[in-house]
Chains A and B, each alone.
Chain A
């Protein structure tokens, strides 16, 4: 039992840490803190989703925010007021147009639709490698953005979808973040995850050892799209109003920044990145709003929050290119007997040591 816990402690610890944060939020109860932390927990789901693909495959994807957009709209289609949908979204099938579905149905849609799109799109692009793959995901983001901001009868175009029930608070967001962490961990220690990591380290050697790189990548791509899509669904039902604008380059940048700041080769890194970046952005936001100093208010000009984030990312890339976590996974228990065996065996048998680069 102890060994089982020691072996799989990382996701448990991460989930406990987030639970503490969610509980503190509930105790403090102040509205703006609730909003900030709910948003943070939603981003954990999104960034962990990004990590499942980027962290395991080593391919940078700029397109995942497109899946978030798809997930958010799927949830909005299911839950927005039928009266609104009847007027503004006449292109929707009547099943969606005339009914208002509960939260679980909406979330199922927000998970399944992006996963389907990822499976189709992934089948096409997963055989591309490196930069070509990154550019293809970029193209995907632009395609999603172009389609969703112009398909007026289904997405309300550039105007917004309103009347989405706001049912997501810190605890709902927490449960989804926890589920995302668990899913990411299970994938990471699965045969697929291990083989994919092997191909990340040395594609040629992995292929030579009969690893179907493309199949592994596709599995990671679909799972990560599903998680990011779930994040989108949560986001829609957290805000209650939805437009296409936020799901573009800015959000892509911030989520990738979170992953890089935390360290993109470990699960702990992806969660840590979200927490650290959220904290920093929050501090900068306070300064931007202004701090009263003896009668006058000293405020940073608008844009300094983003500028600070950009500088932070650049500094971390230069001084800690592997992120704050450097591939480290959170652990308090020592995994006992396994350490005693031959180091070479340990390297191949314990999935966690693969993370230490």
Chain B
């Protein structure tokens, strides 16, 4: 029983990371119908921004060495700038393009960022000692709760509540929801498309920055493709949660985290290496039963 609760804690912590990534991807999908592969690379940019650009194996902290109160806004600003840049250079000219074209464009952006980082920082993975003090554990009875998991969960909850308050209570938030519902009509009613889309990219940048700080604290290593698996799992989360609605994205993120952790814990040892295969087979299964996701968005159903 203790073991199960322990697994559940791990699952929820992993799930909350995926939920944060899925939120960033789901937000853009809702408004632009863009499946943004490059979101994972925004996370990578956030991590690499902490260190001095050099090809050395041991990374030297630059921004990462500042006090937390300075690091967090600095990384957020850098990632938001990168996100807005991809919007201005690639996604804005493609705004009328079809959904598959946009998806391929984001694939290209992702490839450009990964190899840009490779050129600037060299190909070898790097070790980084960043906020490693957070990797302590709290014991509650027999339960071991890593500090970082508590922090992750708290950050996720705060950002989720913040985002939903923003969407419900502020004028810009209402405009964004209107744009997600029906972009054209919203524009006729005075919603400025560029502002709303820029805002969506900025918010997804902030979410990516948060994920990059949490990930790098936990793993302590950097590679130019580190964001890819996160984005992959998050896409799947967005799709099985129900595309185009944020509650679905978050639910999907937690579900993926739980499925992965539980497979890791309860698969027979000889099958454990195939964990990802089982997880993605589960994904296909969910899609077969509910093609439009667990919580389908109302506005995405095709009306004839």
Residues of A within 8 A of B (CB): 58-60, 124-125, 127-132, 134-136, 138-140, 142-143, 145-147, 150-151, 204, 249, 253, 256-257, 260, 301-304, 306-307, 309-311, 313-314, 317-318, 321
Query: Is B83 part of the contact surface with A, judged by Cβ < 8 Å?
Result: no
Query: Is B243 part of the contact surface with A, judged by Cβ < 8 Å?
Result: yes
Is the beta-carbon distance between B112 and A317 smaller than 8 angstroms?
no
Is the beta-carbon distance between B111 and A306 smaller than 8 angstroms?
yes
Chain A contacts for B302, CB-based, 8 A: 204
- Provide 17 A-B residue pairs closer than 8 Å at the C-beta atoms, listed in order of the A residue: A59-B100, A128-B287, A128-B291, A129-B291, A136-B287, A138-B235, A139-B281, A143-B281, A150-B274, A257-B104, A304-B115, A306-B114, A309-B111, A310-B108, A317-B90, A317-B94, A321-B97
Encode B101-119 as 1/0 by CB contact (under 8 A) with A.
1011101110110111011
Is the beta-carbon distance between A131 and B243 smaller than 8 angstroms?
yes
Query: Is B74 part of the contact surface with A, judged by Cβ < 8 Å?
Result: no
Of all chain B residues, the one with the shortest Cβ separation from A254 is B111
On whether A139 and B107 interact (CB within 8 A), knowing A127-B291, A303-B115, A303-B118, the answer reads no
Give Cα A130–Cα B114 distance, bound, in whole angstroms: 27
Give Cα A238–Cα B291 distance, bound, in whole angstroms: 40
Of all chain A residues, the one with the shortest Cβ separation from B114 is A306
CB distance from B258 to the nearest CB of A (A): 17
Is the beta-carbon distance between A307 and B119 smaller than 8 angstroms?
yes
Is the beta-carbon distance between B111 and A310 smaller than 8 angstroms?
yes
Chain A contacts for B115, CB-based, 8 A: 303-304, 306-307, 310
On whether A253 and B111 interact (CB within 8 A), knowing A60-B100, A260-B104, A317-B94, the answer reads yes
On whether A125 and B284 interact (CB within 8 A), knowing A135-B236, A317-B97, the answer reads yes
On whether A314 and B112 interact (CB within 8 A), knowing A134-B103, A138-B232, A321-B97, the answer reads yes
Chain A contacts for B109, CB-based, 8 A: 310, 314
Count how many pairs of residues, one from A and one from B, have CB atoms less than 8 Å apart in the complex: 132
CB distance from A313 to the nearest CB of B (A): 4
Chain A contacts for B119, CB-based, 8 A: 301-304, 307
On whether A313 and B100 interact (CB within 8 A), knowing A139-B280, A146-B274, A303-B123, the answer reads no
Of all chain A residues, the one with the shortest Cβ separation from B102 is A317
CB distance from A22 to the nearest CB of B (A): 30
Query: Is B99 part of the contact surface with A, judged by Cβ < 8 Å?
Result: yes
Give Cα A261–Cα B118 distance, bound, in whole angstroms: 24
Which of B103, B108, B123, B287 is in CB contact (< 8 Å) with A257? B108
CB distance from B210 to the nearest CB of A (A): 24
Of all chain A residues, the one with the shortest Cβ separation from B86 is A314
Is the beta-carbon distance between B235 and A135 smaller than 8 angstroms?
yes
Is the beta-carbon distance between B291 and A147 smaller than 8 angstroms?
no
Of all chain A residues, the one with the shortest Cβ separation from B276 is A146
Query: Is B292 part of the contact surface with A, judged by Cβ < 8 Å?
Result: yes
Query: Is B153 part of the contact surface with A, judged by Cβ < 8 Å?
Result: no
CB distance from A320 to the nearest CB of B (A): 11
Is the beta-carbon distance between A256 and B94 smaller than 8 angstroms?
no
Highest count of chain A CB atoms <10 Å: which of B101, B115, B232, B243: B115
Query: Is B273 part of the contact surface with A, judged by Cβ < 8 Å?
Result: yes
Chain A contacts for B118, CB-based, 8 A: 302-303, 306
Query: Is B93 part of the contact surface with A, judged by Cβ < 8 Å?
Result: yes
Give Cα A3–Cα B284 distance, bound, in whole angstroms: 47
Give Cα A140–Cα B283 distance, bound, in whole angstroms: 10
Of all chain B residues, the one with the shortest Cβ separation from A318 is B93
Is the beta-carbon distance between B288 and A139 smaller than 8 angstroms?
no
Of all chain A residues, the one with the shortest Cβ separation from B96 is A321
Encode B136-173 as 1/0 by CB contact (under 8 A) with A.
00000000000000000000000000000000000000
Which of B103, B274, B291 is in CB contact (< 8 Å) with A132? B291
Of all chain A residues, the one with the shortest Cβ separation from B224 is A303
Is the beta-carbon distance between B228 and A249 smaller than 8 angstroms?
yes
Chain B contacts for A303, CB-based, 8 A: 115-116, 118-119, 123
Chain A contacts for B284, CB-based, 8 A: 124-125, 136, 139-140
Chain A contacts for B90, CB-based, 8 A: 314, 317-318
Is the beta-carbon distance between B94 and A125 smaller than 8 angstroms?
no
CB distance from B18 to the nearest CB of A (A): 15
Chain B contacts for A129, CB-based, 8 A: 291
Is the beta-carbon distance between B123 and A150 smaller than 8 angstroms?
no
Chain B contacts for A136, CB-based, 8 A: 283-284, 287
Of all chain A residues, the one with the shortest Cβ separation from B281 is A143
CB distance from B74 to the nearest CB of A (A): 26
Is the beta-carbon distance between A253 and B274 smaller than 8 angstroms?
no
Is the beta-carbon distance between A256 and B273 smaller than 8 angstroms?
no
Is the beta-carbon distance between B232 and A60 smaller than 8 angstroms?
no
Which of B103, B235, B277, B293 is in CB contact (< 8 Å) with A147? B277
CB distance from A342 to the nearest CB of B (A): 30
CB distance from A121 to the nearest CB of B (A): 8
Of all chain B residues, the one with the shortest Cβ separation from A59 is B100
Give Cα A132–Cα B236 distance, bound, in whole angstroms: 9
Give Cα A150–Cα B293 distance, bound, in whole angstroms: 30
Chain B contacts for A130, CB-based, 8 A: 99
Chain A contacts for B111, CB-based, 8 A: 253, 306-307, 309-310, 313
CB distance from B170 to the nearest CB of A (A): 29
CB distance from B33 to the nearest CB of A (A): 9
Query: Is B69 part of the contact surface with A, judged by Cβ < 8 Å?
Result: no
CB distance from A163 to the nearest CB of B (A): 25
Give Cα A138–Cα B240 distance, bound, in whole angstroms: 13
On whether A147 and B274 interact (CB within 8 A), knowing A124-B288, A139-B283, A318-B94, the answer reads yes
Is the beta-carbon distance between A314 and B100 smaller than 8 angstroms?
no
Give Cα A147–Cα B278 distance, bound, in whole angstroms: 10
Of all chain A residues, the one with the shortest Cβ separation from B282 is A139
Give Cα A5–Cα B129 distance, bound, in whole angstroms: 68
Of all chain B residues, the one with the shortest Cβ separation from A309 is B111
Highest count of chain B CB atoms <10 Å: which of A60, A311, A318: A318
Chain B contacts for A134, CB-based, 8 A: 35, 100, 103
